[in-house]
Chains A and B, each alone.
Chain A
Amino acid sequence: MSDSQVKILDGNTFVVSGESGDIEASYNDPGGLFSYDTRFLSTWVLTVNGERLTPLSVDDMQYFETRFFLVPGTGTVYSDARLSVIRQRSLRNGFHEDLTIANYDRNPAVLTIRLEAGSDFADLFEVKDALQKRGSYSARAGDGRLVFAYRRESLSRSTEIRSSQPCAVDEHGLTFEITIEPHGTWKAGLDVNAAVLETSEEDEAEGPTLASQVRQQPKDMADDLARWLAEAPRLQSDWDPLEIIYRRSLIDLAALRFSPVGAGRGSFPAAGLPWFMAMFGRDSILTSLQVLPFKPELARTTLRELGRWQGLRVEDFREEEPGRILHELRYGEMTAFEERPHSPYYGSADATPLFVVLLDEYERWTGDSGLVRELEPEARAALNWIDEYADRQGNGYISYQRRNEETGLENQCWKDSWDSISYRDGTLPGFPRATCELQGYAYDAKMRGARLARLFWGDEAFAQTLERQAADLKRRFNEDFWIEDGEYFAIALDADGRKVDSLTSNIGHLLWSGIVNDDKARPIARHLISERLFSGWGVRTLAKGEGRYNPVGYHVGTIWPFDNSFIAWGLRRYAFTDEAAQIAAGIMEAAAFYTGRLPEAFGGFPRLMTKYPVEYPTACSPQAWSTGAPLLLLRTALGLEPTGNHLLVDPALPNIVGHLELLDIPGRWGRIDAYARGRVEVPPPITSIGHASDRPH
């Protein structure tokens, strides 16, 4: 996505437009008004006397509200500075746009204001893959409103546009013929209503239909955001960027909250804008883990919702299996007609063990044993899935190979691009693939499952079985995945049990899971901050020198902030506090360059070479687990660890921060404050927030 795109969002409803506020979506352009995975506006272009407008500035007021300051003219010709146009749009309760035009001339302005509108009702998957629609379109103009509709069998979608001011309506837009007096202003409000399904009046009379429940509930979003911020722990620091990063993270996390129909009142983190405003097993779990010290309630909803959709049967199209936690749930047309398997799709090899990890970590922080008891069947089914279904080769390791050959995912781990798993020479292994971090997650799930079984489910025998299995898995893993000549763990075992031997960031996740033998931890920590993996900003997904290394390759050289946050957690688990602090410092300094909002990924170029972190070209932003990364790094830098009913604070703060206070950390202890001084020596900072404001964002 280009830098000039402006986004506002509320749950899975969002608008992506250019800097003038116009939407002109082409077949594969992500612009538009989207809701429930469907594009409801693909054209929304404002002209004054036939002229397009030039943006003077954009005011990102809130994540659900933006204001565009415009003047007529396209920038290459003289702009008529006697007129100014303000478009203020919000997603408070459906899409609303206020147009304000001011005439600064001494003469009346006679104007034709035109708003071109159109809808292609594309499913997000069609936008991504440039597919053609199968249904029929219609447009109806009259009674001061314009209605676009789409129908395919029983599926219907409609977009209704209304104006608060009189206008002429045709099938392609609205026209206002107006005269504005000298120094006068003219205002019009435009409402766009997106309807996901059509229901009859008789149905509506019976009770709330799905269509009516999907419609946005009015709420005071500004109040809601203010409360969200007020309830979070307060951060104070003498390193100014940190407060900006912290606030940005909390606001973006609020924006990415998602509360779909049928999810009760709770909300959980959606994965990211624009493609991933949906429930994702992996992303929702990892983000919930990252933000536990700050917003533990997200974990609760994530666990409940994912548990509710847990797989029950063996089914190839959706890759469902008993106990499996979903990968992705979608609402669009292609899902509805089973042309895509997302109703929900289960093709993820890591979400299931991570579900158990989150349940245990959640209890450690909150003491909410009620949820642990409530979700006992789901957690047991998840643990059972690891042994019964995930061991596709019968060798005691989780591996993946898609069963849906047409639309299933090839790589069912977080590095899900086609070339992400490779040997040193760059060749790609066949399937199934047993990637190393999956084994770590399985080990951790068994160890944590044992704790839950012992303390909450009254099942000592099961606890011992799980611990025995975990110990055996750890022993085998440290033999089978270890690469002697390089002193690190292979990224995967291939279909023949051969080691896929490239050096990758995945080894950091192994520390987080605790599967690494103590004698192997030091070489792993050394690799993570070596010149081959560590750029100065963070740990690369693939080490320099490997066959497929490319500093702007999606999973083969870029740096992922979320990845680094878990690596830092892993380093702390094995008491490599200085190394953890060094990674925290690098990522936090990178965040300062992005005015507090970390992208999904940035380039793996050495820091000394580029001086600033080069953004990955099509990175998704904001993205939930990038938003969560600074929060998890705060946890690791402060060394926050729940111990019984207490919170242990054991800081290892990089010296770019002199002083840090995090006040009112919620948990089973009530609220606790943490204080730290930056004592860990890291290379001196070469950036500040001031630099970042010079760059577009």
Chain B
Amino acid sequence: MEPTDDAEKFFQQLGGQDREPLLAKVRGWVRFELLEPDRTDRWLVAVDRGAIAVSHSDGPAECTARLDRALFVQLCRGEGNMIAALLRGAVVCIGDVELLFAIARLFPAFAPERQPQRL
């Protein structure tokens, strides 16, 4: 299925890869709640030492990140910084913030200069 925007593209790509080396030391469930004017789009990202499963499941999460979908799309494109957004309250984080810090390292997801060099 074609992604409708960069937010969807991000989650599809994340779920589609075998392993994300940047999350090799991370274990936990993170829920993203992307707020839209008339609905909330929920994504559950399960990370198990680099292995990632993405779903719309309502299952429990150790960390919930709540933010406007428009902001999430900006973060995906590198037009903003997740940590700064968190510090100014534009991202509400409930639960284990370490998990969100870990996932924040994946942004910007589509910037051409991203070079996750882990030799």
Contact = CB atoms under 8 A, between A and B. Distances in A.
5 closest A-B pairs (Cβ-Cβ)? A336-B88, A336-B87, A154-B89, A322-B117, A155-B88
Interface string A372-406: 00100100110010001000000000000000000
A374 B25 contact: yes
Interface in A199-216: 199, 203, 206-210, 213
B93 A322 contact: no
Given A155-B89, A322-B115, A336 B97 contact: no
Contacts of B90: 153-154
A313 B118 contact: no
Interface string A146-187: 000000111110000000000000000000000000000000
Interface in B66-119: 66, 78, 80-81, 83-84, 86-90, 92-95, 97-98, 101-102, 105, 108, 111, 113-119
Contacts of B117: 312, 322-323, 381, 384, 388
B28 interface: no
20 contacts: A155-B87, A155-B88, A197-B89, A198-B89, A203-B66, A208-B94, A210-B86, A308-B101, A312-B115, A313-B111, A313-B113, A313-B114, A315-B113, A318-B81, A331-B87, A338-B81, A377-B21, A377-B119, A381-B117, A384-B117
Q: Which of B88, B97, B113 has the most CB of A within 10 A?
A: B88
Contact of A156 (B25, B83, B89, B119): B89
A199 B91 CA distance: 11
Given A313-B113, A381-B119, A208 B92 contact: no
B107 to A, nearest CB: 10
Given A203-B66, A333-B88, 18 more contacts: A152-B88, A156-B89, A262-B97, A262-B98, A262-B101, A312-B117, A313-B113, A314-B113, A315-B78, A322-B117, A332-B87, A336-B89, A337-B88, A338-B81, A343-B83, A343-B84, A380-B118, A380-B119
A343 B115 contact: no
A312 B105 contact: yes
Nearest to B67: A154
A318 B89 CA distance: 20
A261 interface: yes
Contacts of B94: 203, 206-209
Contacts of B105: 312
A264 interface: yes
Contacts of A335: 84, 87
Interface in B29-44: none
Given A312-B105, A343-B83, A209 B92 contact: yes
Nearest to B87: A336
A384 B94 CA distance: 36
Contact of B64 (A207, A336, A374): A207
A380 B98 CA distance: 23
Contacts of B116: 312-313, 322
Contacts, number: 92
A344 interface: yes
Contacts of A152: 88
Q: Which of A198, A208, A343, A374 has the most CB of B within 10 A?
A: A343
Given A338-B81, A343-B81, A343-B84, A261 B97 contact: yes
B23 to A, nearest CB: 12
A3 to B, nearest CB: 34
Interface residues of B, number: 34
A638 B92 CA distance: 52
A541 to B, nearest CB: 34
A155 B89 CA distance: 5
Interface string B17-29: 0000110110000
Interface string A112-140: 00000000000000000000000000000
A312 B88 CA distance: 23
Contacts of A210: 86, 92-93, 97
B22 A312 contact: yes
Nearest to B86: A210
Contacts of B87: 155, 331-332, 335-336, 343
A374 B25 CA distance: 9
A314 B115 contact: yes
Given A322-B117, A331-B87, A343-B87, A203 B92 contact: yes
Contacts of B114: 312-313
Contacts of A206: 64, 94-95
A156 B92 CA distance: 12
Contacts of B84: 335-338, 343
Q: Which of B86, B89, B93, B111 has the most CB of A within 10 A?
A: B89
Interface in A319-357: 322-323, 331-333, 335-338, 343-344
B92 A199 contact: yes
Contacts of A343: 81, 83-84, 87
Contacts of A333: 88
B89 A384 contact: no
Interface in A552-575: none
B119 A384 contact: yes
A34 B57 CA distance: 41
A338 B93 CA distance: 19
Contacts of A380: 118-119
A338 B113 CA distance: 20
Contacts of B22: 312
A323 to B, nearest CB: 7
B1 to A, nearest CB: 29
